[in-house]
């Protein structure tokens, strides 16, 4: 009963293993899992949107529910012009949702349990938000935004801007990694029925974290497009 040893092994398994090498770039299991999810998502998206009709039938209901939710969110935050940000926010939500739910496929470790994936998401999103801010208000308006309520708050605004990628990525990563670790440890101790409620909680948290990521993107875009 080498529980301590196996516990050790579980917690040291934090680093993803390298599967093969593309030239000189190591490709880890995380990247392969992401490719598998992409291979599932892209044909699904193509097949579901082939015959759209005005009166929705079948799976189109589901798509319209998600799209309408984000349309309403963007419109209530930003007004009519918010609709053009729907591709960014919707893609983030659906992609992160599928990545988090890939737990259900036996044998797959969700790619969001790896810090690389979540940092990539967060950095790309924040850079895009800056570019949207510059495009909407011009360079001068973008810089003035940092001095907005009070010029003395400039360092605080700058630090807040730099902390946003950190907090976005760590929130998603820590949620998924915590769930995976707790379930792994529970499987070591009592494999019979006890891990099931924790796994259900993990799936719910995955959904909520995807929602929160996209919601926060909407909030950040609003704060840049409309000022403090």
Partner 1 sequence: MMGYLSVALAVALAAFGSAYGQGIAARAAMEGTARQPEAAGDIRTTLILALAFIEALTLFSFVIAILLWTKIVV
Residue 108 Cβ vs partner 1, minimum distance, rounded to whole Å: 22
User: Inter-axis angle of helices 195-225 and 115-146, to 10 degrees?
Assistant: 20
Beta strands in 78-118 (DSSP E): none
Q: Which is nearer to partner 1, 7 or 134 (CB)?
A: 7
Q: Which is nearer to partner 1, 14 or 39 (CB)?
A: 14
DSSP class of 26 = E
User: Inter-axis angle of helices 115-146 and 154-189, to 10 degrees?
Assistant: 160
Residues that bind partner 1 (CB under 8 A): 8, 11-12, 14, 73, 167, 170-171, 173-175, 177-178, 181, 208-209, 211-212, 215-216
Q: Which is nearer to partner 1, 125 or 209 (CB)?
A: 209
Q: Which is nearer to partner 1, 38 or 204 (CB)?
A: 204
Q: Which is nearer to partner 1, 63 or 73 (CB)?
A: 73
Q: How far apart are CA 10 and CA 216, in angstroms?
A: 32
Residue 58 Cβ vs partner 1, minimum distance, rounded to whole Å: 25
Quote helix, strand, coil % in the chain, to nearest 5: 80, 5, 15
Question: In the numeric block, which tokens belong to residue 118?
Answer: 């979540």
Residue 70 Cβ vs partner 1, minimum distance, rounded to whole Å: 12
Q: Which is nearer to partner 1, 34 or 113 (CB)?
A: 113
- Residue 111 near residue 99, CB atoms below 8 Å: yes
What DSSP line would sit under 26-47, residue for residue?
A: EEEHHHHHHHHHHHHHHHHHHH
Residue 44 Cβ vs partner 1, minimum distance, rounded to whole Å: 26
Q: Which is nearer to partner 1, 31 or 168 (CB)?
A: 168
Question: In the numeric block, which tokens belong to residue 228?
Answer: 């403090």
Residue 174 Cβ vs partner 1, minimum distance, rounded to whole Å: 3
Residue 101 Cβ vs partner 1, minimum distance, rounded to whole Å: 17
Residue 193 Cβ vs partner 1, minimum distance, rounded to whole Å: 25
Q: How far apart are CA 135 and CA 156, in angstroms?
A: 23
Which residues have a Cβ under 8 Å from the Cβ of 56 and sit 6 or more positions away? Answer: 64
Question: In the numeric block, which tokens belong to residue 47?
Answer: 């097949």
Q: How far apart are CA 216 and CA 89, in angstroms?
A: 10
């Amino acid at each position: 009963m080498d529980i301590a040893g196996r516990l050790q092994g579980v917690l040291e398994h934090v680093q993803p293993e390298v599967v093969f090498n593309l030239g000189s770039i190591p490709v880890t299991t995380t990247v392969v899992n992401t490719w598998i999810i992409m291979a599932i998502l892209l044909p699904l998206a193509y097949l579901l949107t082939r015959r759209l009709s005005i009166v929705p039938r079948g799976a189109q209901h589901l798509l319209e529910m998600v799209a309408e939710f984000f349309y309403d969110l963007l419109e209530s935050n930003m007004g009519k012009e918010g609709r053009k940000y729907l591709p960014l926010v919707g893609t983030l939500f659906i992609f992160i949702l599928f990545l988090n739910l890939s737990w259900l496929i036996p044998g797959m470790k969700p790619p969001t349990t790896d810090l690389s994936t979540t940092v990539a998401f967060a950095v790309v999103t924040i850079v895009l938000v800056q570019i949207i801010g510059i495009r909407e208000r011009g360079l001068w308006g973008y810089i003035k935004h940092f001095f907005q309520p009070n010029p003395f708050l400039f360092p605080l605004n700058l630090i807040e801007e730099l902390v946003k990628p950190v907090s976005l990525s760590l929130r998603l990563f820590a949620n998924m990694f915590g769930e995976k670790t707790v379930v792994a440890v529970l499987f070591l101790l009592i494999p019979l029925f006890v891990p099931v409620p924790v796994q259900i909680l993990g799936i719910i948290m995955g959904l909520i974290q995807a929602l929160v990521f996209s919601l926060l993107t909407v909030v950040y875009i609003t704060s840049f497009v409309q000022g403090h």
